Amino acid sequence: MIGYVVAVSLSCLVGVAELVSRYRDRPTTLVRVPSTWAYVLINGGAGAGSLLLLHTFDWRFGVQAPDVARATQVLVASLGSMMVFRSAVFTVRVGDEDVAVGPSTLLTSLLAAADRGVDRMQAKTRAQEAGEIMRGVSFRKSRLALPTYCLGLLQNVSAEDQADLRTAVDALAGSEMTDGQMALNLGLLLMNVAGPDVLRSAVHTLGEEITANGGGPRPVPPPREGQAAEPGNGGHRTEMARANPDQ
């Protein structure tokens, strides 16, 4: 019984990690979306089913010691089910796209359903928070300073994520939107990377340096519970700053 608990837990953990990595700004929202539970439970069921098959056919993988054999079966069931359920039997060409057919199709469908559910649930909150935090911020003044400062506060943002953010900001700067509209969308981009609490602190700290009227620090509502710690990056220079050495 313990082996099944471990196999199911490891398999579920993989599903949870995959979902959390997709919603870094507020992963707790996933708890309220039914499709996310289905996704995690199917991962756990795959681990339990794989372990049952190993026990049924008594596959020991050449290990004679009973305890070691059971541990090996649990690990193989957990890791093996992850690979099997993410594999495709064959690929079908539909129009201009290649569609994989196999166990991965089910997980992909559930993951897409989870994406839509979380997006709908977070959209209203994100719109309100972005409007509140970025009110009065000038995109022209904050285009470089705000992303660089937010990335400086975070010590574990990959170079790839920083480069993607810079590309998105550059594309935003080349649009035909007004300065206020671009500032609002800049806030949404930064919320995806840093979360609303870090963005709120960054805007409050930069204050009049990024506001449209330059009339002094803006009164920003106090940070919510669980806000990131005070900036202490030890001189870490971000990708945004390196890409713009003259500014």
Query: Residues 113, 132, 227, 239: is their CA dihedral positive or negative?
Result: positive
Helices (H), ranges, the chain: 2-22, 34-57, 66-85, 103-133, 139-153, 159-173, 179-194, 196-206, 239-243
Identify the residue whose tokens are 């499709």: 35
Alpha-carbon distance of 40 to 220, in angstroms, equals 38
CA angle 8, 14, 17 (to 5 degrees): 135
Encoding tokens for residue 81? 């089910």
For the whole prediction, is pTM greater than 0.85? no
Label the pairing between strands 90-94 and 97-101: antiparallel
pLDDT tens readout for residues 220-239: 555 555 444 444 444 444 55
Is residue 98 very low, low, confident or very high in pLDDT (cuts 50, 70, 90)? low
At residue 97, the 3 state secondary structure works out as strand
Q: Summarize pLDDT for 177-201 with one digit per residue, the tens.
A: 999 999 999 999 999 888 899 999 9
The 8-class DSSP code of residue 211 comes to B
Length of the chain: 247
Other beta carbons within 10 Å of 123:
10
**How far, in Å, CA of 116 to CA of 171, rounded?**
25
Q: What is the DSSP letter of 237?
A: P
Distance CA 41, CA 20 (A): 15
